[in-house]
Amino acid sequence: MKYERLVVSRIVSEMMNFFFAMGASCFKSHVARSEEKYEIVIDTDYTGNQTSKIKEMTRLLRMPRAEESEEYFWSLSGEISTGQEIYLVGIMTDHVSVDHDEESRLVHIILVRLLD
């Protein structure tokens, strides 16, 4: 995809919107770029019993990257997030790690997007 920085910023934005919709009061993201990848690290909280949503998010994030159709799928994402766009993050990333602590309602996510 031509606009890697835009894609990475949209990934962070989608994740932030997703967790704010779940009542997050603190959303921290860190993005690091190297010659071979972008690594996005997210630490966030949420309110209420959201275990099923976290499990579904994890499943959607682990979808295989779809490089051949990234630009098409990304154009489908609107400016207003409904939480349903999280699957777009999955098809835009190569590796995903999700650690979820139900008791403290904290989530730690690592998303990796390899560069060509």
Cβ(60)–Cβ(49) below 8 Å:
no
pLDDT of residue 80: 47
pLDDT of residue 66: 81
Six token digits for residue 53: 């949503």
* pTM of this structure: 0.88
- Topology of domain 4-114, per CATH? Heat Shock Protein 90 (3.30.565)
Blockwise average pLDDT, block size 10, the chain, 116 residues: 82 95 97 97 97 95 83 59 73 95 97 93
**What residue spans define the domains of the chain?**
4-114
The whole-angstrom separation of Cα 62 and Cα 8 is: 17
